[in-house]
């Protein structure tokens, strides 16, 4: 039996499935991710396209995209940030807070630590990048 887990928005209208093992996570401390999460950082991971499946609710997804390419997809009903296909078109960005089950994943990278909020304390053994590493480096760091 193949391992999978479900993720849902706050109102549970949008749901998706992660097929196979969830990679490790990263926390991004840039000002955009702080605004998106309303906290110190945004915790997420990347899934290869074949590991991701929408279950329901895609008709309620709205997108906000800045000129820089920064993107936020969200539920029109409850406002929860939801996954989106990344610019590389081979991976989905997955916000970790939507996952319903516990995973054996852990935060293995902190991004944009140089621009973190003055009140943010980054702790733990995860590698800290002052800005954004290239995607190959980050993807390798997130693999178990």
Q: Quick: pLDDT tens for 41-51.
A: 999 999 999 99
Residue 102: predicted pLDDT: 82
Q: Could you say which residues of the chain have pLDDT below 70?
A: 1-2
Residue 144: predicted pLDDT: 80
- Structural domains in the chain, CATH included, are 4-142 (2.170.150.70)
pTM, two decimals, is 0.91
Sheet architecture: strand order including 25-28: 84-85, 91-95, 42-48, 25-28, 107-111, 127-128
């Amino acid at each position: 039996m193949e391992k999978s887990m479900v993720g849902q928005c706050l109102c549970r209208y949008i749901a998706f499935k992660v097929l196979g093992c969830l990679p490790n996570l990263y926390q991004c401390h840039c000002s955009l991710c702080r605004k998106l999460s309303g906290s110190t950082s945004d915790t997420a991971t990347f899934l290869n396209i074949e590991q991701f499946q929408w279950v329901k609710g895609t008709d309620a997804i709205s997108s906000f995209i800045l000129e820089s390419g920064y993107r936020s997809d969200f539920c029109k009903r409850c406002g929860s940030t939801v996954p989106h296909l990344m610019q590389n078109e081979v991976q989905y960005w997955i916000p970790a807070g939507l996952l319903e089950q516990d995973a054996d994943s852990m935060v293995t990278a902190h991004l944009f630590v140089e621009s973190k909020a003055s009140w943010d304390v980054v702790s733990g053994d995860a590698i800290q990048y002052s800005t954004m590493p290239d995607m190959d480096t980050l993807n390798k760091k997130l693999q178990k």
